[in-house]
Structure 1
């Protein structure tokens, strides 16, 4: 068993704060969507919806960018860069008057900052907590769950007080705090060692041979069957999660709930999701991450089959509580499972590819599901949840 360094706990605290201030900005997208509709009344609603959709999924789609930054530099540089990118993206968005350019400044640039922060913190934690990765990532990602209650009303307060332009500047400043906390994530010997090896190779091998060897070694994880299965699983549950959380309020309204009631039900999932991130992360350290990862989606799929009989308020609360608890820890456990499959060798590259696949599922899941949701109604929700058990 590898001894945990005292500084690792500082890194864990810094990771919680970095994820809270940066990656958790994802929870502001709903409030910003309404403000953007008011700012651009002549723009088609679907166009503005794509702004929020792209911003939301960039934390996964830009995983390859984050993995390259970690491979070339280290995880600390990646997290510190995330704050700068987020600040630049939101600051530029404040001066944009054409919605077309918001796809660049808001969706792509500011959204990419989330990916840099998310990937950088998880990779750093895996190096500092080699024997307690699931526990550390579960606690760190739990900070994102707390922000699901804080950021939406806080963002609305900023819009009411400073307007959309001022809100963009404030959110950029908040996201920039990840640079401060990222500075505390000092690189470990495992991150510094590959550079020394690379330098020795450069002195004794031809350039073409070295390049071929490096690329083969870097993408060796593609030869692993479990890794491919994890890619398929990640894409599947990303399609399901994005679709479920988008259509769940509308589904409950069709079952007789009011808009306010549907919003309260979503907050229930946030509460249980926060508990899940910490509890299942700690539990996975002793029970086994693969058992918990597969079991929680299987249980959620079974529970969803009984959703039709949960038409009362108590039934809906029970369902959203299950939803939050059995899906809240999926991102942290996914990374822990990747470490078990791949090890720490080229973990940043393997994780970047994994997050990209998740981003593709997260982006295209709702549009595809939306084509059959109005016609299939009840069954569309069940079909989406069946993807969990892939």
Structure 2
């Protein structure tokens, strides 16, 4: 299927007043991305933050192997540390979005860096696995969750035409971090023990504070005489309505309809006192109100969402309905708006989204099992330099994200097909890893897995837009983060329990390979489901 077009929402009965209101909201929204300037410094900061946070998370399997020896606990229980770390990081996405919408990317990132660094340093004093579950799993997980979303959002708001390149560079820090942190963590443990290594890495996370301070908001455009409102200023005299206004109203009908019609055709003619009151009432950053804020692909094919359209009017109406549903929450209006946007459950009736969510859930179950168990599995086989296998996964993941991101922007590429094929190959290669017994065989597996699994992170947002449309991206992404967080709690502990029961790592890798490959295979049914839904809509229209 072509990824140039996106699904639109029908709304043929929109009034002129609603169109005018949407036009005002569009003109009062955040400024357009400058596509450069300080934005490249934001890309650098996001890149470095991905190196630190994802580097520690994906190389945590080295700490895991050390914890097994030191605490002498079961592999299933010990795996809860990294499982909860990942689960809390992902599940806290909607909460992080509400904070970003209220206080902006810089404040939320700094708060997350302080929280995660403190919890990791305190973990060096832990005397049991349960303590690590709370300090690393919950504490550091929540801190990383507060960092994760701003690291993406801060880049997308700065870029439009070069967004795919900018976000691609930023998220590549994840692969490079995995490549670097695996041998660094191993060396720190060898020289300072796991406690010293944990304290040093916790201190290293504090570097996210100055990096987060680089997440400057997009500067407001200075007002020019051309952009000044051109409608006459309201009369401040005690008279309620002038004679000329009454005559115009009698001659042309309702005055407000004419103003709305004029405002629709000339957005610059908005009333200045209305703009001022709305601007003064907005105390938060409002970043998460952009429908394309989580989109990581090129925006050239989505230019139609820049202008006022029935789709945007429908989006505005739905946003107001969602905000009313979350009116009971004890937080600011900006936080309520972001939470309502990401946690709207009405999307769960869409068959395509249900199937994609099931695929994401299955992928997340098996995704972290290789990261956690590759090192202890290799050590059991007697393979030397096993931490370098994690580095190979990281390096190939880095290359995979760049290549897949570049290819996915080509108009002739079916991005859903590429996504499905990559997941299927990643799953099959994970299951086939059990036939390897030496370093180079496992290195080949690590290369295939790292490259193809890059589609899971890099192509999720663009595939969602292809399937559901840009107006549903924030909602769909928020729900997927919850599903991914829940699934991440299942995979590593279940694989550890299988080892404790069967005394073999093979069943855990078979589970990971099976869930990842099935997650790719079931998405091959989406085109057939789309054709069926389109045929049904055509039949309903004919009736």
Same fold (TM over 0.5): yes
1:22 aligns with 2:22: no
1:360 equivalent to 2:486? Answer: yes
Cα RMSD (Å) of the superposition? 4.1
**Separation (CA, whole Å) in 2 of partners of 1:348 and 1:73:** 18
Whole-angstrom distance in 2 between the partners of 1:193 and 1:273: 29
Which sections of structure 2, spanning at least 5 residues, go unmatched? 1-31, 221-283, 290-320, 329-335, 523-543
User: Does the alignment pair 1:7 with 2:38?
Assistant: yes
Per-residue deviation, 1:174:
1.3
Distance 1:115 1:338, change over 3 A: farther
Quick check: 2:364–2:488 contact (8 Å CA) kept in 1? yes
Displacement of 1:13 in angstroms is 0.9
Number of the residue aligned with 2:158: 128
> Residues of 2 paired with 1:330 and 1:114: CA distance?
19
Shift of 1:303: 5.8
**Counterpart check, 1:179 vs 2:220:** no
Change (3 A) 1:127 1:153: same
Q: Does 1:229 align with 2:355?
A: yes
- Residue 191 to residue 5, structure 1, CA distance change in 2 (3 Å): farther
- List gaps (5 residues or longer) in structure 1: 196-204
The answer to whether structure 1 residue 103 and structure 2 residue 227 are counterparts is no
- 1:322 aligns with 448
Check the 8 A contact 1:138/1:333 in 2, yes or no: no
Does residue 113 of structure 2 align to residue 83 of structure 1? yes
Question: TM-score, structure 2 length as denominator?
Answer: 0.59
Deviation at 1:327, TM superposition (A): 0.8
Alignment of 1:25-104 (within 5 A): 25-37=56-68, 39-41=70-72, 43-97=73-127, 99-104=129-134
Point out the more displaced range, 13-22 or 238-247: 238-247
Q: Is the 8 A contact 1:136 1:281 kept in 2?
A: no
Instruction: Note if 1:298 corresponds to 2:424.
Output: yes
Matched position secondary structure for 1:22 = helix
Counterpart-to-counterpart distance in 1, 2:372 and 2:122:
28
Query: Larger helix proportion, structure 1 or 2?
Result: 1
User: How many residues in Structure 1 have an aligned counterpart in Structure 2?
Assistant: 380
TM-score (normalised: structure 1): 0.79
**Structure 2 counterparts to residues 210-289 of structure 1, below 5 A:** 211=327, 219=344, 221-222=347-348, 224-246=350-372, 258-260=382-384, 264-286=388-410, 287=413, 289=415
Of 298-307 and 159-168, the range deviating more from structure 2: 298-307
Using the TM superposition, name which of 9-18 and 88-97 deviates more.
88-97
1:201 matched residue in structure 2: none
Structure number with bigger Rg: 2
SS at match of 1:259: coil
